[in-house]
Structure 1
Amino acid sequence: MKILKTIEELKEVRNNITEGTIGFVPTMGALHDGHISLIKQARNENDTVIVSIFLNPTQFLPGEDLDNYPKKDEADKKICEMCKVDYLFMPDTSTMYEKEEVLIKAPNKSYILEGASRPGHFDGVLQVVLKLFNLTRPTNAYFGKKDAQQLTLIQQMVRNLFLNINIIPCDIVREKDGLALSSRNVYLNNEQRQEALKISKSLTKAGQLIGKKEFDVKTIKATMKEVMNSLDIEYIEVVNKDFEPIDTIELKNTIILVVARFGNTRLLDNLWV
């Protein structure tokens, strides 16, 4: 595995790849089994694999956890080596951004749900992802379904800007007890960690109801709230894959989204129906 730190190094490497498919996995580091599953899928499906680790400041709002975000560079390098990554791109902020930038504006649906409490967050996400796409020019790029709104917006950006990239959605990876893997899980104390299991339990309950032909969204949301009655729920929403609210479950076109807070930590999870 070769570690790249500069734009020039990455451009030289990319220009020398003239054959085969390129799989790309963008991350912010603190890699866990969820990231590893993306990297392994990219490795299985492509001739060359590029992973980026860049803690992107433009997607953090004032007061958020940018400064405290977990940073595990040495462990991350070892993980990428074990996963047989070909190139690991690890730029710093001055490499990726100039003092004045051309900005990317996310569409209106970026200001609901995650965007409602984090206005401008998705502008920063799309800005850095587009930069990384332009640098790596991948055949396939891999994103987890856990960040469902982010995934949908990246898919739209690829369509709208006519980017010749396949976006590959990857299933959520969970702990054995059901908690969705997240770099922010390390912020939870033991009591919060146990309470957080109610998030995935509520989604399991929703899936069971849908399996019994219960398609009324109000009923499903009410049942989920009962399961999570002791949690600080930020939202439970049911949308179609265009992120439009729906009243009735549409099979193969529905996402059930949950966010709950544990102190200063927000955990999100979802179920694709």
Structure 2
Amino acid sequence: MQTDPERRGFLMRTAALAGTLALGGCDRLSETPWFRQVLDSAEGATSRAQRFLLGSGPLAREYTEADLSPVFKANGSVSVDDFDYQTLAEKGFVDWRLQIDGLVERPQRLSLAELRAMPSRTQITRHDCVEGWSCIGKWTGTPLTSVLERAGVQSQARYVVFHCADTLEPTLDGTGQYYESLGFEDAYHPQTILAYDMNGHPLPIPHGAPLRLRVERQLGYKMAKYIMRIELVESFTGIGRGRGGFWEDRGYEWYAGI
């Protein structure tokens, strides 16, 4: 089953408008308890409405190579100002390892070669940004399901958290490091992949090399780049500001379904 593109576009525009309205005020407003309650209530309604309209397992629309965007915009971080990451990049990421830990039975440290040797999926999909623009790209990577099954998820785990190498802003409270998270419904979706190739070539640095998340039924800010670690957790307490993602900590909705 595929999502009606007009309906998907409507949901995307609605989510973008809601995010813009919510973030139009100052950061101080977004931190007040009553305003957070309003945002949380709206987020829950949005999530329930999307699940009702689209069901729990539809596929995002997939396209053909003729539909590929001639230029795919790189957004957010386009480089990483971190010595360890830059050293890995200079060596072609041969020494890079993806750490999988937290509430798992078998913690993992996987090389890029090991990920490439696992089952893969290629999909041509549309990337919808909360800012209102879209691009179509071709992605190849390891289904997140395969990685989670390899590690063995413990029963008390509720969320999958992606820790990244990039820092979008220096903050005194240490929350400037980019991170994102998913619930299991999206984590186990067949189109949720850890992408290492883009348009038939190794993922370029501006687009998140060596590994980025593709979760095609959500807006672009959920597509974490420069992934270094995947952590299985029961709650977000103690991670960033406890809202489930870098932008969520600053007022965006945790569930960004389109």
Instruction: Give the TM-score normalised by structure 1.
Output: 0.25
Higher relative contact order (CA 8 A, sep 6+): 2
Structure ID, larger Rg: 1
Q: Whose helix proportion is higher, 1 or 2?
A: 1
